[in-house]
Amino acid sequence: MEKPIHRSVAEADAEADPFARAFAEARRAAASGEVPVGAVVVRDGRILAAAHNRPRALHDPTAHAEILAIRAACAALGSERLPGCDLYVTLEPCPMCAGAIGFARIRRLYFGASDPKGGGVEHGPRVFNQPTCHHAPEVYGGFREREAAELLRTFFAERRD
Taking domain 18-156, whether its CATH number is 3.40.140.10 is answered by: yes
pTM value? Answer: 0.90
**What is the rounded distance in angstroms from the CA atom of residue 85 to the CA atom of residue 109?**
9
**Residue 77 near residue 49, CB atoms below 8 Å:** no
Is 66 assigned a catalytic role? yes
Is the pLDDT at 35 greater than 90, yes or no? yes
46: β partners:
43
Among the listed residues 25, 34, 66, 92, the single catalytic one is 66
As annotated, the binding site for Zn(2+) includes 64, 94, 97
pLDDT tens digits, 95-127? 999 999 999 999 999 999 999 999 999 999 999
- What is the C-alpha to C-alpha distance for residues 90 and 74, in angstroms, rounded to an integer? 20
Of all residues in the chain, what percent are helix, strand and coil, respectively (each to 5)? 40, 20, 40
Instruction: For residue 15, name the pLDDT band (cuts at 50, 70, 90).
Output: low
Q: Quick check: 56 and 35 in contact, CB under 8 A?
A: no
Mean pLDDT over each residue of the chain, to the nearest integer: 93
Percent of the chain whose pLDDT exceeds 70: 89
